[in-house]
Amino acid sequence: MPTPAPAPAADCSLNCSMQCGPQCEVNRTAGLAKCDTDYVPNWNGCYDSCTSCVCPHKSACANSGCVFGNCACDHTNASSCCQWCGQALLKTYFNCRNFEDRYVPYCINNCTNDSNKNCTPG
């Protein structure tokens, strides 16, 4: 005769769902970090593309002193590209961060629902 499986703990759903908050927060933190790490390379690509089109002497733009986060440089075209790329990508950056912030409640809700479905009270 097979041995019956042990009954799960009576507070299984609670135990499972209590893990949802920290798990979802870890996912959020990773998502925010990705927003940050994607922003600078995207800005660099935008800036390089822009300056290659508008700067008659590429070396002047390349050595202008304009960098991510600091568009105060002596070359007008480089400064314009710097500002334009920053503004163009800022919306995408903030949308990325806002998504991660809004994601947490949905994550917790889905995780809790899944926990309740997969746990059987004892």
* pTM for the full predicted model: 0.64
Residue 47: in which H helix or E strand, if any? helix 20-54
Of 17-21, 25-29, 77-81, 116-120, which one has max mean pLDDT?
25-29
Give the length of the chain: 122
pLDDT band at 98 (very low <50, low <70, confident <90, very high): very high
The answer on pLDDT for 95 being more than 60 is: yes
Q: Give the pLDDT score at 97.
A: 93
SS3 25: helix
Q: Give the pLDDT score at 94.
A: 92
- Rounded to whole angstroms, the Cα distance separating 49 from 46 reads 5
Q: Give the pLDDT score at 12.
A: 61
For the residues 24-49, what does the mean pLDDT come to? 91
pLDDT band at 86 (very low <50, low <70, confident <90, very high): confident
| Residue % of the chain over a pLDDT of 90 | 18
Residue 62 contacts by C-beta under 8 Å, 6 or more apart in sequence?
Answer: 51
Place of tokens 């075209």: 77
| Residue % of the chain over a pLDDT of 70 | 80
- Rounded to whole angstroms, the Cα distance separating 77 from 15 reads 59
CB 122 within 8 A of CB 76: no
